[in-house]
Structure 1
Amino acid sequence: MKLIKTQEAVGHILCHDLTQIIPGEFKGARFRKGHVVTEEDVPVLLSMGKEHLYVWEMQLGMLHEDDAALRLCGLSMGKNIRRSEDIREGKIELFAQCDGYFTVDAERLFAVNSVPDVMLATRKGGTAVKSGDKLAGMRVIPLAVPESTLEQAETAAGPEPILNVLPYRLKSAGIVTTGSEVKSGLIEDKFTPAVKRKLAAFGIETAAQIFSGDGVENVAAAIAEVRAKGVDLVLCTGGMSVDPDDNTPGGIRAAGAEIVSYGAPVLPGAMFLLGYFSDGTPVMGLPGCVMFAGATVFDLILPAVAAGVPVSRRDIVALGNGGLCLGCKPCTYPLCPFGK
């Protein structure tokens, strides 16, 4: 491409979109890439502050911004993601094709964005998304870049796409409700309705509920009973504190689960427990805050678990940065900094 005076541009082809802004009336591309400039266009272009224009002049080894955006799309767009139909002002956007768990390879994303003149911006990875949600936008900064720039970005990205949406895989859950006071009916079970609502948002049906009462042996037996029903996920509600009579963590261990973490650097939800049985079935011990708080550690962990993504202790430890809920009224989660 080359830069020429607007008055001399008649008959030349624009190599990029030109945006016009009329406050309160219009903002958008007044002239599209590929437009052939006419005499009538010149006064309009000058009124837009365009005294000079870049017109197309292909040079060997250079890529137009649209072609560069397509290359960035190729290295980023993975499973269950669609791209915008049009390339607007050199930018391509990506959208979720289904409800699911959005994953971002943060290290490779950093490597790509470290290449000069390249940008790939995403929403926060490790979060739940809905079909149609915007996931990312990408472009190069100049109107044209050396092809070697995109080759660098592709090398930094590696052979696999950086972004994916993983559909939710878990379909059923069994709930073990601990506490003799709940089993006997002295206290109403307000925990289960809250948990059921959160599970339903991920397409998980509550297939069984057992009231275990107190005691490690009783909790372990109840866990075994719900597992025998073939559920994909086991949840134990209550009894998660360090008080001597809170036996849920011991009951989960006695049931044969390998504990990933008992405790999380998240408020609310510090007494959260996550474990897995040998067949891969996840089990969670949910602290009482899940019953009444708008968002807790359960909301941060559930999307990954629902998608069948193994959660490690390192993943839980990393939640500390952003793991403090500010207790806003009304709660706006997930449109807030919690967990991000």
Structure 2
Amino acid sequence: MFFGELPVAKAEGAILAHSLALSGGRLRKGLTLRQEHLEQIAASGIERVVVAIPAPDDLGEDEAALQIARAAAGPGIELRVVGTGRVNLHARSPGLARLVADRILAANAVDPMLTLATVPDLHRLDPGGMIATVKVISYAVPRQAVAAVAGAASGAVSLAPVVWSEATLIETQIAGQASGAKGARVTEARLARLGLSMAPPLHVAHETGALAQAIRTAPGAGPLLILTASATSDPQDVGPAALRLAGGVVERVGMPVDPGNLLFLGRCQNRPVIGLPGCARSPALNGADWVLERICCGIPISSADIAAMGLGGLLVEMPSRPHPRMTPPPP
């Protein structure tokens, strides 16, 4: 592609590289110059213009972006053409971004004029949320480079949709201690963001036997969420102990995400069980969100996966936190 200055008289058919404010109106960059445009430019006293002229084997920016986006888009993705060399990739439904990092890195290594930017892997998306954007920087690019990028990025951007329709919450209560409805209300809102409904919450005493019975008999088949009146501080505490007594398996107690440290994870009767940390009573992001989102989207999560969440697991402090990480300085 040629890019540079030309005499106005020789610029017909070229692409205007920079917008021009003329006496008769504004000509925007990216415009293919016709004879009437050249006359308007000359009438304004301009003798030379900066233009781009594609080579015979070049693709225009819009077609190049569309080819790359079509190749990169996997299941659950829809394309939205923006123009000016940009096509956005959006989620068709609620879910989590699934990105093939090696393919995206390889695509972006081909030609700096051809770019593919994404949200982080496992980022939660609402319906219509943008998961990636393809931007072609120059006005035209070699067809061969576009083919190389499209090949490298093939199927690299997809969506893991939600696989459950409902979840059940069990809350434990300590005699004489007010429980409130905030935990259920916030949990219901969390599930709604993922497109799940919440069954009527169950309330039981904060005792191992009572909670075990509730786990065994809880209705539904979707994820089972447990919000205990007192935070889980040991693998033998009420929540994990009740899950074992109910015939379930405890896979992890504690996580290196703050807020969210006091989570436990397991299974019972082929349904996932998440012991929510106390911070889950707040709508602010916490470690339980990352676990809940993966489980609701059918993505397996192991103890090792939770351990790996420590990298990037220091989240924003919640103003309502009973025990902040740092005490404020004296006045």
Q: Given the two structures, how large is their TM-score scaled by the length of structure 2?
A: 0.79
SS of residue paired to 1:301: helix
Contact (CA 8 Å) 1:240, 1:249: kept in 2 or not?
no
C-alpha separation in 1, matches of 2:320 and 2:65:
40
Residues 1:124 and 1:50: Cα distance change in structure 2 (over 3 Å): farther
Q: Which deviations, in whole Å up to 9, do the C-alpha atoms of 1:175-232 show, x marking residues without a partner?
A: 22224x1xx4642244323322322332322224333324433322210110xx2231
**1:177 counterpart (171, 174, 199):** 171
Q: Relative to 1, partners in 2 of residues 1:69 and 1:293: Cα closer, same or farther, differing over 3 Å?
A: closer
Provide the residue aligned with 1:12 in structure 2: 13
Separation in 1 of the partners of 2:73 and 2:158? 7
Residues 1:111 and 2:106 aligned together: yes
Equivalent of 2:213 in 217, 221, 227: 221
Distance, in Å, in 2 between the alignment partners of 1:316 and 1:70 is 37
For 1:196, the equivalent position in structure 2 comes to 188
- Aligned residues of 2:72 and 2:150 also touching (Cα < 8 A): no
Q: Distance in 1 between matches of 2:141 and 2:153?
A: 18
Report 1:202-281 matches (<5 A). 202-226=194-218, 229-238=219-228, 239-242=230-233, 246-277=237-268, 279=270, 281=271
Matched, 1:75 2:71: yes
Partner of 2:159: 165
| Structure 2 residue matching 1:137: 3-state secondary structure | strand
String of CA shifts for 1:285-309, please: whole Å, max 9, x gaps: 0121212462211223322222222
Counterpart in the other structure of 1:338:
none
Query: Where in structure 2 are the equivalents of 1:2-151 lying within 5 Å?
Result: 2-3=2-3, 5-14=6-15, 18-20=17-19, 30-37=28-35, 38-43=37-42, 51-59=49-57, 62-88=58-84, 90-117=85-112, 118-151=114-147
Which of 284, 300, 304 does residue 310 from structure 1 map onto? 300
Letter in 1 for 2:127: S
Do 2:71 and 2:151's aligned partners in 1 also have CA atoms closer than 8 Å? no
- Is the contact between residue 240 and residue 285 of structure 1 (CA under 8 Å) also seen in structure 2? no
Judge conservation of contact 1:77–1:163 (CA < 8 Å) in 2: yes
**Measured at CA, do residues 254 and 157 of structure 1 come closer, stay the same or move farther in structure 2, by a change above 3 Å?**
farther
For residue 328 of structure 2, what is the aligned residue in structure 1?
Answer: none
Change (3 A) 1:52 1:200: closer
Aligned to 1:337: none
Amino acid at match of 1:288: G
CA-atom RMSD in angstroms? 3.3
* CA distances 1:40-95 after superposition (whole Å, capped 9, x unpaired): 34359987x97331224413xx433333212211222223332223431x222223
Shift in alpha-carbon separation, 1:302–1:41, aligned structure 2, 3 A: farther
Q: Does 1:152 align with 2:144?
A: no
Tell me how many residue pairs correspond in the alignment: 313
> Does the C-alpha gap of structure 1 residues 44 and 50 become closer, same or farther in structure 2, counting only changes over 3 Å?
farther
2: CA distance, partners of 1:249 / 1:261: 9
In structure 2, do the counterparts of structure 1 residues 245 and 255 end up closer, same or farther at CA, with 3 Å as the change threshold? closer
Does residue 1:290 correspond to 2:280, yes or no? Answer: yes
Query: What are the ranges of 5 or more consecutive residues in structure 1 without an aligned counterpart?
Result: 332-340
Q: Is the 8 A contact 2:94 2:126 kept in 1?
A: yes
User: Could you tell me whether the CA contact under 8 Å between 1:173 and 1:208 is conserved in 2?
Assistant: no
Check whether the contact 2:54–2:60 (CA below 8 A) recurs between aligned residues: no
* Aligned position for 1:335: none
Letter in structure 1 aligned against 2:144: S
- Separation (CA, whole Å) in 1 of partners of 2:119 and 2:288: 21
Q: Pick from 156, 167, 187: which aligns with 2:178?
A: 187
Query: What TM-score does the superposition give when structure 1 sets the normalisation length?
Result: 0.78
Unaligned runs of 5+ in 2: 322-331
Q: Judge conservation of contact 1:120–1:136 (CA < 8 Å) in 2.
A: yes
Percent of matched pairs sharing the same residue: 25
Tell me, in whole angstroms, the C-alpha distance in 2 between the residues paired with 1:251 and 1:330.
Answer: 29
- Report what 2:310 is aligned to: 320
For the residues of structure 2 that align with 1:260 and 1:243, how far apart are their CA atoms? Answer: 13
Aligned partners of 1:45 and 1:51 also within 8 Å: no
CA–CA distance in 1 between the matches of 2:96 and 2:259? 22
